[in-house]
Chain A
Amino acid sequence: MNRRKILQLLGKSVAAGAFFKLSTGLAQGKIPQGATEPMKTLGIPLREYGERSEFEQKVIRYISPNLRSRHTGASFTPLDQLEGVITPSSLHFERHHSGVPNVNPAEYRLVVHGLVSRPLIFTLQDLKRFPSITRTYFIECAGNGQNGYRNPPDMTLTATRSRGLVSTSSWTGVPLSILLKEAGIKEGARWLIPESQDAAAYIRSLPLEKALEDVLVAYAQNGEAIRPEQGYPVRLVVPGWEGSIQVKWLRRIELTDTPVMSKDETSEYTDVMADGKIWAFTWLMEPQSIITYPSGLQQIERGFHEIRGLAWSGFGRVRRVEVSLDGGRNWKRAALEPAPDPLSAVRFKVNWAWDGRETVIMSRATDEKGNTQPTQEEFFTRWARNNRYHYNAIQAWRIGADGRVVNGDRTLAGAPAQLGAAGRGGCGGES
């Protein structure tokens, strides 16, 4: 480091209020002993397949220790340890109902049948021959945020456990509309029933209109074959809608005139509302945001911080993210960088110099249709306390005078006491 650089650094830290620390720290002991070691020996030779640094091995998905089976349940993307917009494929969240099937691509087939003129069977190579498109989309489990139903709030909550059932990838595939045209849609067809090649033979109902609009039959994720956990070799990508309808390991699509009302669109993925009704087909994912730094169980120092977070909405582009640094009294607009894509997560950032006083920070997203994230209280005027899905209320983080960050959500009055462990077996459930 040359003299000019050191002076610049010092200048910055003065601005950030960290002068004291650095000015005493330039002496001996501040230069790590091992830092120059790699310069004395040859490094790792060329290798065919890359590995992350051995020092990054602890960046892993979160799996609740309370699960009774690891063949159903969810693993969470470690949002509080990632940057940017794209989720590394190996850290994409998981939700499956009967484990991850091992599908041999040579024996892979997709059949389109039912109300079509020509039932067709496609090989993987067939699917890849069609014109392809590549888009960046988030996929979010409807159970994302389920820990927000806990009351009183869980004080050990992290950003990962708060909203880690969302991931963003670059997806490549053939538009489903092309395959449907190839098979010829018959009069009277209104619905598609996609089926999975897993041990649950998982099925859902999808309206034909959406299928023709923007649904992808995807075979690539972030430039390589889709990971097994995400549906290798072929899955549906249904932009902006709940993850559970984006059927993985896709083997069969039947066109029908009625929906199937499968277990996973009746017993699960339906929503209990504040008036006691149960809503079906709650497909669209409402706006969400989460501050990933500083966030639950992290520790910060006085001085400059770039507050960072993620925001997304199933209605389209995120138009605006606001951040409050004083418990929700004042809000300032965060920078969105890079520029947001529609139906993709966006990264938001706010510059902040923390003065060391206890405070509560929070973020709220607004999408291009004008939908805004609700407060906890607003959320529960619509949805029931014993619901399991679609929790998108603002997440607050409390920063103590000691710099420790914990869940800043409030305890709500009147919640039934037994709702502590929300939703066993549901997608966001941890038990």
Chain B
Amino acid sequence: MRHQWLSVAVLALSALVLAQGRYQIGTPLTEQEVQQWNIRPSILANGVGLPPGQGTVDEGAKVYTAHCASCHGATGEGGAFTRLVSEPFPITLEVDSVDFAVGNYWPYATTLFDYTRRAMPFATPGILSDSEVYAVVAYILYQNGVTDGSEPMNAQTLPRVQMPARTLLQLDPGTQKRFPWLKLP
């Protein structure tokens, strides 16, 4: 009997708290405060989120030599860690997965900016300026033969770069069945 009264009281209380179906826990943030927290904003495949700034292949070669070559090799291959340059474009069934790299496996160029700014250099992420990231991205794409290096990389040019492996990419059919609205960018 006492239990019943207790649960009625609890219900009444939660109905009160749950006005509008919410618990009123958590602190609202202004857009500006969100930006302060968002120190590595995501770059979407359509280019949304790309910052101002730009970089050329030549500038990128310098950034690469200074900050990347020690791990990824002098030209993007032959280093101790993941190779960034590889052939053929795109991969085939005969290519060892060790040789999957930016030029032959990555479907979106924007990912290279997002990832480099987020996570590289491995031990000191966050030290590159946005223009240095654009530059090293320009260099890696050029090294892979994906671009001819004639234009600098920036928020307009990068999303337009077509990656050879994009033609191979398709949605898992099981995933498509479960989420019929889902489309790859």
Contacts and interface: CB of A to CB of B under 8 A. Distances in A.
Contacts of A388: 97
Given A130-B25, A418-B96, A424-B98, A69 B107 contact: no
A262 B97 CA distance: 19
Interface stretch (B51-59, B61-69, B147-155, B168-176): B168-176
Interface in A384-431: 384-388, 416, 418-419, 421-426
Contact of B184 (A201, A251, A280, A423): A280
Contacts of B100: 267
B34 A280 contact: no
Contacts of B27: 120-122, 126
A205 to B, nearest CB: 9
Q: Looking at chain B, what size class is its interface with the partner chain?
A: 35 or more
Interface in A241-287: 251-252, 254, 256, 258-263, 266-267, 270-272, 274, 276-284
B174 A284 contact: yes
A384 B92 CA distance: 10
A321 to B, nearest CB: 23
A281 B175 contact: yes
A421 B98 contact: yes
A209 interface: yes
Contact of B45 (A258, A263, A384): A258
A278 to B, nearest CB: 5
A260 B44 contact: yes
A199 to B, nearest CB: 5
Given A121-B27, A207-B182, A386-B96, A425 B81 contact: yes
B125 interface: yes
Contact of A98 (B29, B42, B97, B122): B122
A266 B44 CA distance: 13
B34 A119 contact: yes
Given A118-B28, A121-B29, A279-B170, A260 B114 contact: yes
Interface of B: 21-23, 25-31, 33-34, 37-40, 42-46, 48, 80-82, 91-98, 100, 102, 105-108, 110-111, 114-115, 118-119, 122-123, 125, 165, 168-172, 174-175, 179, 181-182, 184-185
Interface of A: 68-69, 71, 97-98, 109, 111-113, 118-122, 126, 129-130, 178-179, 181-183, 190, 193, 195, 199-203, 207, 209, 251-252, 254, 256, 258-263, 266-267, 270-272, 274, 276-284, 384-388, 416, 418-419, 421-426
24 contacts: A121-B28, A121-B29, A181-B22, A183-B26, A190-B181, A193-B42, A195-B40, A199-B123, A203-B118, A256-B42, A258-B185, A260-B114, A261-B110, A261-B111, A262-B115, A267-B111, A276-B168, A277-B169, A278-B169, A279-B170, A280-B107, A384-B93, A386-B94, A423-B98
